[in-house]
Amino acid sequence: MRLRDIAHARTGDKGDTSNISVIAYRARDWPLIERTMTAERVARHFGIERADAVSRYALPQLHALNFVLRGFLTGGVTRSLAIDAHGKCLGATLLDIEMEAGGESLPRP
């Protein structure tokens, strides 16, 4: 099961910083998302080596996590030569993460 099966993303960017929120579709999926979607996992997913470049903020009343990726947009959307290097693309990419529990892939809902 991929993260996109149980959550959606909202994104934004400002300068060289991207902001990605992951919001559970159903309250029952929130504990899995909160437990498995760490700042370290997001950093690994995007190939970020600096430990301080990704911050995670939990919003349990909204069943959401907000990730802030600093210094990730290669100078900002308007300065980058990368195609679609801003938040919307990053949110879609993050939703491709394979969700696992105890080292095993979870079945699709």
Domains contained in the chain, CATH given: 3-103 (3.30.70)
Q: What is the pLDDT along the chain (109 residues), one digit of tens a residue?
A: 999 999 999 988 887 888 999 999 999 999 999 999 999 999 999 888 887 899 999 999 999 999 999 887 766 666 665 555 556 678 888 888 898 754 444 444 4
SS3 34: helix
Which residue is listed with tokens 């579709």? Answer: 25
Helix or strand holding residue 13 (H, E): strand 7-14
- Quote the pLDDT of residue 76: 65
What are the beta bridge partners of residue 65?
22, 58
- Quote the pLDDT of residue 100: 72
- Quote the pLDDT of residue 15: 78
- Quote the pLDDT of residue 39: 95
